[in-house]
Chains A and B, each alone.
Chain A
Amino acid sequence: MKKSSRLSLILVLVLAFTAILSACGGAKKEGSAGTAGNQEAKKDVELIWYNIGTPQKDTDLVMAEVSKYTSEKIGVTVKMKQIDFGDYTQKMQVLTQSGEQMDILFTASWGFDYVQNARKGAFMELNDLLDQYGQGIKDTLDPAFLEGSKVDGKNYGIPANKELPAQDVWRFNKQWLDKYNLDITGVRSMESLEPLLKTIKDNEPNVVPFMIDRNFIPNLPYDYIIQNLPLAVKLDTTDYKIVNILETPELKEALKTMRKYYQAGYIASEVATTTDNSDLTLTGNWFMDRPTTQPFADNLWTASLGYPVVSTPATDAIIYNWSVMGSLQAISANSEHPVEAMKFLNLLNTDPYLRNLVDSGIEGVHYEKIGDNVAKNLDKSRDYDMPTFAIGNIMLTYLQEGDPEDKWEGFREFNEAGTPAPLLGFNFDSSNVSAELAALTNAKDQFWAPLMTGSVDPDKYTPMAIEQLKAAGLDNVMAEAQRQLDEWLAAQK
């Protein structure tokens, strides 16, 4: 008796509720469908474009100007929505998973992961669209971009034309070089740094000689299957055999050096938990570090740090998957206007007027031209400050005051000089081993930073680490990766 009345109560509630819901939901839908149907015939197509970056005050203003131009050229208008850097990945995940309406969206190896989301079906396959409406893109882009950003043989995003390879450099704070008359011409390997570091350590107790953080990994001649997991093949591999990086002689050697530097005090003692060295860069109390470079980077760094720095290569310029996928624009799988979206992307990557409008805003409002190809920011540019590298072909953008005239020429040379990494174009599909990968990431995080920064004794901890990784399923993942790699190689032939 009691039970049945309780049940009927639930039933009444649920029924009443669904009635309310369907009434609300239904009414709204009909309304919007009706208006859309009427207007579609005449009006331009509106593209919804999700982009990474701090939302800007004048975005709508500039997009109205963009729409004016694109409406005339290709019959589309553009609405851009910006999501700040720190929130982008999470919010885009929710938006795509829930099927939010959008046409174009930003993706990269480091933000809203390109490969992963391509595999999950978030993006539309672009090969046919590219052939039909993206000829301009194909002509301007270095072919390595489109080749390297293929996932399982298909393109899902348009890479921005920018620096293609990645090259690490040793970067020095020039004031200390000058003070002690240090020469960096012979510097290349990590071992070759020692005399310089020693000089600084002995003479400048307040300066951190070698500024690194917990994400530091010594440069090794290997190409990683997954960033930050110890599976890799040698850069000059011929048999494409995947090895555990922890078992390689190169790493052993490198860790020995790191340990020596750590114990000598060249590296800050809390490095294994340090995520950010901005207090050092602010005061200049550092001697050297190891960033990834791009053409004319020294100028850029000197300007942004506020004091002179110089750099010298630490590695060759190598084209990795992640460097190719540094910035892409994709078309959403649920886009209703893929053709228009591709036309727009094609225009964005080939038309200097449009590209600069999106990038720097309206001429005379946000910037003014002080030369044929040179722009200068006006005060209002604060209301429209976009991340240039994220919105298509950067080689179309105007030079800024003080930029070398041959800036883009330098980029092209840099790109041509890059050598492809052995795994370029191969992307590991982790869906079969996602459980192992979760355990593996935890096991790896436990010792990775202390080991790589020299904070712990490698002779003692490396074997422990290897053992724990094996317990977490490293061998399984390695076998799966090798299988996929062999298949990929066979398909390449």
Chain B
Amino acid sequence: MHRVSHFFKDLHKNLPILLMVLPGAIGFILFSYLPMGGTLLSFKQYRYNGEGFISSFLSSDWVGLRNFKFLFGTNDAYIITRNTLLYNAAFIILGTFAAIAMAILLSEIVNKRLSKLYQTGMFLPHFMSYVIVGFFVYSFLNMDKGLLNSILERFDLQTVSWYTTPKYWPYILTLTNLWKTIGYSSVVYLAAITGFDRSLYEAAMIDGASKWRQIRNITLPLLKPLIIIMTLLAVGRIFYADFGLFYNIPRDSGALYPVTNVIDTYVYRGLKTTGEMGMTAAAGLYQSIVGFILVVTSNYVVRRIDKDSSLF
């Protein structure tokens, strides 16, 4: 009894904010939680019986963990896991670093008009699909007519068959990814920096702090919570690879698979012949669980160091 009354007291006290969160919570429940039951498909061999999804779902056979087998059963398992993790780790580290650097740089440029012009320019790659970017990379790297090979030729250097030489591709893919994402991700940091309280800088200025010191002692510490959040969020997606980047940029060239095959491309290739719905669901669940474990762990670490910056 006491508990219940306590609960309603709490509820009443928090009611205004509860009402604020409510629309969003309903949105999440409808469009994210309600469909989540579909995760169970990863343990089924889904077959239709002509009477709608629920009924078909119930009448399909349970197959235990069989749908997960294709992710672990082969030599490729190691390669795709390694590639996915390493590339994403590189993207997170380099991407965060570059985005922050670019944001600080843009915020410090004296002529604000120019700064805005640069910003707009950096945003353009975000609008180009990887299919189109793939055309451009190809026009650079193509064996006979490619720009890069004609330059090499002019300097009497050995030309390279780019699309069959794996060793260059970690760099090509990383550069392409950075090129495409820096403009977009620096916006968040830029917005945060412009929101900072100017009086802090003025105080530092009066103390005679140099620009570098201001950046190190004011800007970066103030950015810390945002950097942590962005990194934690990225860590949660570390097992998801950008399909367009890893499929379209290397033109699905077989010789490059050892360095370009990631979980998402592997699943795509593997399931295009059979189209098993349960296996698609299994791959998604696997990616989710790994991401979940990583986020919870790193969130725990963050909590120990700085409670306020943690995600939950």
The answer to whether A13 and B75 touch across the interface, beta carbons within 8 angstroms, is no
Partner of A121, one of B47, B53, B164: B47
The answer to whether B70 and A99 touch across the interface, beta carbons within 8 angstroms, is no
Q: Considering only CB atoms and an 8 Å cut-off, how many residues of chain B contact the other chain?
A: 51
How far is B255's CA from A270's CA once the two chains are assembled, in angstroms?
Answer: 12
Measured between beta carbons, the chain A residues less than 8 angstroms from B52 are 98-99, 334
Binary contact track A9-45/B, C-beta < 8 Å → 1, others 0 = 1000110010000000000000000000000000000
The contact size tier of chain A is 35 or more
Measured between beta carbons, the chain B residues less than 8 angstroms from A273 are 163, 251-253
The answer to whether A121 and B3 touch across the interface, beta carbons within 8 angstroms, is no
B266 within 8 Å of A (CB atoms): yes
The answer to whether B25 and A13 touch across the interface, beta carbons within 8 angstroms, is yes
Measured between beta carbons, the chain B residues less than 8 angstroms from A468 are 75
The answer to whether A434 and B70 touch across the interface, beta carbons within 8 angstroms, is yes
Binary contact track B285-297/A, C-beta < 8 Å → 1, others 0 = 0000000000000
Known contacts A13-B29, A448-B254, A270 near B53 by CB under 8 Å:
no
Residue in chain B with minimal CB distance to A226: B273
Task: List the one stretch of B224-232, B235-243, B275-283 in contact with chain A.
Answer: B275-283
The answer to whether B254 and A99 touch across the interface, beta carbons within 8 angstroms, is no
The answer to whether B270 and A97 touch across the interface, beta carbons within 8 angstroms, is no
Residue in chain A with minimal CB distance to B55: A99
B271 within 8 Å of A (CB atoms): yes
Known contacts A99-B53, A438-B274, A443 near B76 by CB under 8 Å:
yes
Residue in chain B with minimal CB distance to A122: B48
The answer to whether A120 and B270 touch across the interface, beta carbons within 8 angstroms, is no
Closest Cβ–Cβ distance, residue A452 to chain B (whole Å): 10
The answer to whether A445 and B254 touch across the interface, beta carbons within 8 angstroms, is yes
Looking at A272, A431, A456, which has the most chain B CB atoms within 10 Å of its CB? A272
Complex interface residues of chain B between 37 and 67 (CB less than 8 A to chain A): 45-53, 55-56, 66
B195 within 8 Å of A (CB atoms): no
The answer to whether B163 and A430 touch across the interface, beta carbons within 8 angstroms, is no
Closest Cβ–Cβ distance, residue A191 to chain B (whole Å): 26
B257 within 8 Å of A (CB atoms): yes
Measured between beta carbons, the chain A residues less than 8 angstroms from B211 are none
Looking at B47, B50, B55, which has the most chain A CB atoms within 10 Å of its CB? B50
Measured between beta carbons, the chain B residues less than 8 angstroms from A333 are 48-50
A435 within 8 Å of B (CB atoms): yes
Measured between beta carbons, the chain B residues less than 8 angstroms from A121 are 47-50, 56
Knowing that A441-B270, A442-B261 touch, tell me 7 more A-B residue pairs with CB under 8 angstroms: A1-B3, A5-B6, A120-B47, A438-B271, A442-B257, A446-B257, A471-B74
A sample of 9 inter-chain contacts (CB < 8 A) reads A96-B48, A97-B48, A99-B53, A122-B48, A334-B51, A438-B70, A439-B70, A471-B74, A471-B75
- B residues contacting A by CB (< 8 A) are 3, 6-7, 10-11, 25-26, 29, 45-53, 55-56, 66, 69-70, 73-76, 142-144, 161, 163-164, 251-255, 257, 261, 266-267, 269-277, 279
Closest 8 CB pairs of A and B: A438-B270, A333-B50, A99-B52, A273-B251, A435-B70, A438-B70, A435-B69, A121-B48
